[in-house]
Amino acid sequence: MERYPTLPELVHKRMNETPDVTALTAAEGGSVTWRELYEASHKWADWLRGYGVKSEDRVVTIIPQSLESNFAWLGIAATGGVEVSINANFRGEWLRHALETSTAKVVIVAAKHLQQVLDALERTRVETILVYDGAGEQLNASGVQVVAENPNALPFVQPKKDHFPNRWDIACVLYTSGTTGASKAVQLPWQQLSLSMAVDYFGEGRQVFYLPYAPYHLSGRCALFRGALFNGHTVVREVFSTSEFWPDVRKFGCTWTILYSAPTRFLMAQPEQADDADNPLEWVLQCPILPEVDRLKERFNLNAYSVYGMTEICSPIGVPPEFTDAAHVGCCGRAIEGVETRLVDANDYEVPDGEVGEL
């Protein structure tokens, strides 16, 4: 299995090689170069150290997809800590359970999500809540310290030594969708997280990756990581928007994106336009393969491939472009090199060829 660099290693590499090239853009406004990204991450790291964050500490984030969500991840990693990204839609017991299982003492939250956190602190270890987009306020609520300040306003101090995690270190903690009860926390090492990007068919050339997905989901979590790994430019949006999708793609020259079932069908349901095929998008990672995939490729003049994965395993199985068509709906593909798979029965014994089993 290929050994990918960790995201902090990649950011440091890009910062040294192409410091003034745009690394990350928020569709709602704002962008940073690799140098600016590196400096912002260390501002956030210094900010967090000021509130007691140290190596191996868990730090909860409830931040929409944005420049700041990526500053937070890299900043936490620079302290040696681990980000625990929680779904911003969680409320009440679901949020309380996630906060409790995180074991975090520090929470970074967008101001619009502060109240839902304050309402869910019972039996958690939370001591400090940092509101990064606040207005310089400091409050005491529910027995915790609440601080509102902007770490981007801090001066950049060059670190004496950069902290680079090992590939077996935990990159982040994400929560499952909670199909069977409360969401479960999944610890993702850097090497495992990189499996989300191990299946690629777009070849050489600088891609512009478009990821309008939340950072508590694998697709949004790997937005910046994907651009850093393939020396590309990443464009993010807080949430997927049917009306903004093609304007974003054309405005930023996006060449690659992920489309799940609902977004695909939202786009296909729009009235056909004479210029549908006149767009820069070249590649779509479609999960899963849908019956309308052939019409999608023809209408918008693009290529498609697919993967199979989940939070616990990332995406170690892929479907190449030549099989990503309507004739292969239901196909999950083949395992990448270095990954072993088994189809087993209810007792974990392999099933014979031709019989249905669990992967």
pLDDT at 49: 98
Band (202; pLDDT cuts 50, 70, 90): confident
Q: Set out the domains of the chain in order of their start, with CATH numbers.
A: 32-187 (3.40.50.980), 190-335 (3.40.50.980)
Check pLDDT > 90 for residue 266. Answer: yes
pLDDT at 199: 82
pLDDT at 186: 96
Band (204; pLDDT cuts 50, 70, 90): low
Mean pLDDT, to the nearest integer, of 83-105?
A: 97
* Partner residues linked to 319 by β-bridges: 306
Helices (H), 109-260: 114-118, 190-194, 218-221, 223-229, 242-252
Check pLDDT > 80 for residue 138. Answer: no
User: In whole numbers, what is the pLDDT of the chain averaged over residues?
Assistant: 94
DSSP string, 241-289: -HHHHHHHHHHHT--EEEEEHHHHHHHHTSPP-TTTT-SS--EEEEES-
pLDDT at 137: 59
CB atoms within 10 A of CB 242: 13
pLDDT at 87: 96
pLDDT at 206: 84
pLDDT at 197: 85
Band (309; pLDDT cuts 50, 70, 90): confident
Mean pLDDT, to the nearest integer, of 132-151?
A: 81
pLDDT at 171: 97
pLDDT at 133: 94
